[in-house]
Structure 1
Amino acid sequence: MTNLKHYDILVAPVITEKSTLASEQNQVVFKVAPTATKPEIKAAVEALFSVKVKNVNTLVRKGKVKRFRGIKGKQNDVKKAIVTLEEGHAIDVTTGL
């Protein structure tokens, strides 16, 4: 059952060197909505990608203070979810939805 709310929960996949290494342990990293809970993230991944989720870990990276041409600015906080999949399941994040 694909619900439009699932698309609001998962913002984007995180494609970095570290998340690519995590994919070898059957893990996928997503940028998620700041208000998303672990059960909501699990339901969204299972519905959108037709896989079985084993575990969901979340973290919030606090926004950094950066300078651009001498003007100080602050990046937004980012919530990430590290989703561990059951054995035999995989998600190819490079193809998109």
Structure 2
Amino acid sequence: MDGIKYAVFTNKSIQLFEKNQYTFNVESGLTRTEIKQWVELFFGVKVIAMNSHRLPGKGKRTGRIMEHIMHYRRMIITLQPGYSILPLRKRNLNT
């Protein structure tokens, strides 16, 4: 799936692991249902909630005008109790 870029490992996203929430950067053109279906199929988990916000893109200057380009958005995915995405937890705890 080309739409999901990568998992995010920041201080806040590491704290969200305790609440069974995982953070991913995704393409801005994907819908919430597409992302939910992909996560459920790829990781074999059940998603109960998804929150998203758009991150400010890089600035592009054309003459005197400064434009901001949206490249991706961040999704915080909450899983049902009892489910987890183990490869993300193991990699995160060892670093």
Same fold (TM over 0.5): yes
Separation in 1, partners of 2:3, 2:70: 17
Q: Counterpart amino acid of 1:26?
A: N
Task: Indicate the percent of aligned positions where both proteins have the same amino acid.
Answer: 35
Deviations 1:4-60 (A, max 9, x none): xxx212110001111000111010000101101111110010011000111111110
Separation in 2, partners of 1:14, 1:78: 12
Residue matched to 1:88: 82
Q: Point out where structure 1 has 5 or more consecutive residues left out of the alignment.
A: 1-6, 66-73
Residue matched to 1:45: 39
Q: Point out where structure 2 has 5 or more consecutive residues left out of the alignment.
A: 60-67
Q: How many residues align?
A: 84
TM-score when normalising by structure 2:
0.76
Separation in 2, partners of 1:85, 1:35: 23
CA RMSD between the two structures: 2.4
